[in-house]
């Protein structure tokens, strides 16, 4: 049995934002989903946030909830991998860029920079000085869960020691019929770590892992809701992850697609 520890979680969605340590609900009079402002999310400076597209904002905000130490100048994290799973990708900024093409002054170079879902990985790499492997994938509504799975597998394969795995969906009309804001970030660790595990992924076989939460935790629950929202299943602190997009809950087998 091989174990991968989930040592930190972060989540931003239409109900609130937070980590394993603290959860903040949006004010009752906030729009749904609320407009993300950095000053609301974090005390730590991050000048670039205002220029990011919705997907990058959601991913960066969720990762900020992991409360990683800010790297010192010249410090980097070559042993850390970044994995992002997203179904809708950057459709919001894609549409805005398309419309800017017809505007006076022409296409916006600022928007064009964000018309790749992997730009979110670039923003995260800069923010946290992560210089290890990157993977940006899309595999339908289970993409967030798949990011967690692939992140764990990178660690098992020895390609990295830590992984920031993120599932993110963020878009606003008219790119989508209803506004969407859901992002979960997980810090995965293989081997000894000072951080107390929030949950453990235990691999008995290559294609199946048992995920046990050490304690019920809101961001962890959010992931499973995130991964299975369209299936409407209940959440549970103990579930199986089964490759590639399957959750096995205590009572039921659900394919997250």
Tokens of 170: 């963020």
Per-residue binder mask for other proteins (CB under 8 A), 9-48, x = binder: ----------------------------------------
Instruction: Yes or no: say if 66 and 8 are a contact pair by the CB < 8 Å rule.
Output: yes
Number of Cβ within 10 Å of residue 145's Cβ equals 26
Size of the site for other proteins (CB under 8 A): 57
Burial class (CB in 10 A: 0-12, 13-18, 19+), 67: middle
Of the candidate spans 4-12, 29-37, 133-141, 223-231, the one that interacts with other proteins by CB under 8 A turns out to be 133-141
Q: What is the CA radius of gyration of the chain?
A: 18
218-228 helix and 143-156 helix, angle to the nearest 10 degrees: 120
To the nearest whole angstrom, how small is the minimum distance from the Cβ of residue 239 to other proteins? 20
**Binders in 49-88 for other proteins, by CB under 8 A:** 76, 78, 82, 87-88
CA-based end-to-end distance of the chain: 28
Does position 6 bind other proteins by CB under 8 A?
Answer: no
Q: Is 248 in the site for other proteins (CB under 8 A)?
A: no
Q: Does 173 bind other proteins (CB under 8 A)?
A: yes
Taking the least distance from each CB to other proteins, the nearer of 25 and 126 is 126
**Residue 177 interacts with other proteins (CB under 8 A): yes or no:** yes
Q: What does the per-residue mask of binding to other proteins show for 146-165, with x meaning CB under 8 A?
A: x------x---xxx------
Q: Is 135 in the site for other proteins (CB under 8 A)?
A: yes
CB atoms within 10 A of CB 225: 18
Using an 8 Å Cβ cutoff, are 187 and 8 in contact? yes
Contacts of 105 (CB under 8 A, 6+ apart): none
Tokens of 147: 């990011």
Minimum distance from residue 76 beta carbon to other proteins (Å): 6
- Give the C-alpha separation, 163 to 133, whole Å: 9
Q: Which stretch binds other proteins (CB under 8 A): 28-36, 39-47, 61-69, 110-118?
A: 110-118
3-class DSSP state of 19: strand
Of 40, 42, 108, 202, the residue at the interface with other proteins (CB under 8 A) is 108
What residues line the site for other proteins (CB under 8 A)?
76, 78, 82, 87-89, 91, 94-95, 97-99, 101-102, 106-109, 112-113, 115-119, 121-123, 125-126, 129-140, 143, 146, 153, 157-159, 173-177, 206-207, 243-244
């Amino acid at each position: 049995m091989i174990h991968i520890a989930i040592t930190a979680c972060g989540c931003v969605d239409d109900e609130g934002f937070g980590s394993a340590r603290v959860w903040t609900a949006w004010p009752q009079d906030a729009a749904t989903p609320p407009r993300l402002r950095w000053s609301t999310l974090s005390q730590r400076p991050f000048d670039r946030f205002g220029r990011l597209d919705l997907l990058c904002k959601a991913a960066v905000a969720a990762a900020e909830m992991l409360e990683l130490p800010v790297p010192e100048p010249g410090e980097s994290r070559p042993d850390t991998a970044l994995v992002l799973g997203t179904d809708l990708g950057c459709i919001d900024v894609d549409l805005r860029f398309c419309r800017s093409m017809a505007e006076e002054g022409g296409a916006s170079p600022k928007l064009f920079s964000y018309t790749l879902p992997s730009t979110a990985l670039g923003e995260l790499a800069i923010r946290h000085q992560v210089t290890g492997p990157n993977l940006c994938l899309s595999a339908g509504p289970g993409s967030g869960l798949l990011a967690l799975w692939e992140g764990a597998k990178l660690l098992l394969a020895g390609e990295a020691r830590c992984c920031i795995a993120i599932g993110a969906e963020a878009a606003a009309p008219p790119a989508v019929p209803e506004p969407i804001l859901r992002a979960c970030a997980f810090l995965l660790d293989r081997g000894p770590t000072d951080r107390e595990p929030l949950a453990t992924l235990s691999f008995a076989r290559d294609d199946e892992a048992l995920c046990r939460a050490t304690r019920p935790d809101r961001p962890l629950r959010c992931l499973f809701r995130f991964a299975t929202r369209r299936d409407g299943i209940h959440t549970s602190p103990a579930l199986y992850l089964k490759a590639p997009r399957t959750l096995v809950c205590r009572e039921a087998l659900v394919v997250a697609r």
